[in-house]
Amino acid sequence: MKIRHLQLFTATLASAWMSTALAVDPWIVIGHKAPDTDSITAAIAVAQLKTRIGQAAIATAQGEPNAETHYVLETCGLKAPEVIRSVAGRQVFLVDHSDYPLAPDDMKKAELVGFVDHHKLGGLTSEKPVEVWAQPVGSSATVIARMYAAANQPVPKDIACGMLAAILSDTVVFKSPTTTPEDRATATKLAEIAGIQDMQALGIKMFEVKSDIKGTPVAKLLRQDLKDFDMNGKKVAVAQLEMMDLSALSLRKPELLQAMNEMKLSGYHSVLLMLTDIMKEGTELLVLSDDPARIQTAIKATLRDNAVWLPGVMSRKKQIIPDLEVAFKQ
């Protein structure tokens, strides 16, 4: 009889402990605003890995997938992460960014538990020790492959497909100067796991989807890959459109400048738009700024009618942002 009581008592204790354990919210894994393929697939991959090794985590995103990412998710058989805008009071693992302007607006009211990134650091702080995975490589997916290896966990087939697509997207099919040998090696391994024979073809298909902008309003085009920066107290937006061919966009330049102007009036010091031709490997940069001379100093080129062609420029984070940061400090 006594033993029966003891068993009941232990069972009650265990279930009470279980319900407290279950009541702890899972980590929120989230990428940057205006999510791209790397942000979306990184959230999926990190949430899967964490959950697999015993830390409940959910993949989320600060917006719906863009056309390219939508194609990738469908091709790989992955589900779009839940869209959330607020993270206050939650434990948050950031992916594909590590700065406040790109994080959810109430990030300072959340607890940062870690991040994986391949960009410049941007002033994140934390109250407790955090898990940090950052490398100057072509995509977050390349760093996440290291996380799986360190945890001794296999990358599932569907996630390998998504991570491969993220590398192809971020490195512009290995054409961007951000590409490292590790990105190529990781892509090859992921393609094997995903059973993808021709990764170049997948990359080209993704950029074809991305380049199909017929019927997309200019305001949407401007915002689909836009990043906000705080440059020495000035609010600067740098948007980018990567196209197989710029001719369709060139026709819409007056409309694009109009949309940039509307955005600038909402409180920006400068709004820049990179129209990147991935075949010609260069960028037509459109600029609206309170201080165009400062922008010209940064890009070492002269604007004509708010525009300039920059041969060889393909990467926002490596070829535009660092020079702007320097120019805004002067």
Pick between residue 62 and residue 140 the one whose CB is nearest to Mg ion. Answer: 140
Contact positions with Mg ion (CB under 5 A) in 27-66: 36, 38-39
The least distance separating Mg ion from the CB of residue 322, rounded to whole angstroms, comes to: 16
Element (H, E) at 240: strand 234-243
Closer residue to Mg ion, CB minimum distance, 140 or 283: 140
Site string for Mg ion, 133-172 (x = CB under 5 A): ------xx-----------------------------x--
Token look-up 């991570």 returns: 163
Contact residues for 157 (Cβ-Cβ < 8 A; gap 6+): 193, 194, 195
* CB 42, min distance to Mg ion, A: 7
Nearer to Mg ion, 176 or 232 (CB): 176
Half-sphere CA count of 91, side-chain side, radius 13 A: 15
Three-class DSSP category at 241: strand
Instruction: Pick the closer one to Mg ion by CB: 42 or 199.
Output: 42
Tokens of 289: 């700024």
Number of residues near Mg ion (by CB under 5 A): 7
CA distance 314 to 296: 17
Nearer to Mg ion, 91 or 98 (CB): 98
For position 117 contacting Mg ion by CB under 5 A, the verdict is no
In eight-state DSSP terms, residue 81 is P
Output the six-digit token pair for 196: 């993808």
**Token representation of residue 293:** 């001379």
Task: Decide whether 36 or 284 has the Cβ nearer to Mg ion.
Answer: 36
Least Å distance, CB 32 to Mg ion, is: 6
- Measured from the CB of residue 109, what is the shortest distance to Mg ion in angstroms? 24
Question: What's the closest the beta carbon of residue 12 comes to Mg ion, in angstroms?
Answer: 48
Structure-block tokens of residue 304: 């004509």
Q: Smallest distance from the beta carbon of 87 to Mg ion, in angstroms?
A: 18
CA distance 285 to 308: 5
Within positions 200 to 239, which residues make up the interface with Mg ion, using CB under 5 A?
none
Q: Which of 71, 111, 75, 74 shows the shortest CA–CA distance to 94?
A: 111
Contact 276, 314 (CB under 8 A): yes
Nearer to Mg ion, 132 or 303 (CB): 132
The dihedral sign for the CA sequence 42, 144, 130, 319: negative
Taking alpha carbons only, the member of 281, 217, 274 closest to residue 240 is 274
Contacts of 22 by beta carbon, 8 Å cutoff, 6+ apart? none
CB of residue 117 to Mg ion, shortest distance in Å: 8
Supply the minimum distance, in Å, between the C-beta of residue 54 and Mg ion. Answer: 27
For Mg ion, the binding residues in 91-110 under the rule CB under 5 A are: 96
Closest-CB residue for Mg ion? 38
Q: What residues have CB less than 8 Å from 215, skipping those under 6 apart? A: none
Site for Mg ion in 270-289 (CB under 5 A): none
Nearer to Mg ion, 96 or 183 (CB): 96
Binding footprint of Mg ion on the chain (CB under 5 A):
36, 38-39, 96, 139-140, 170
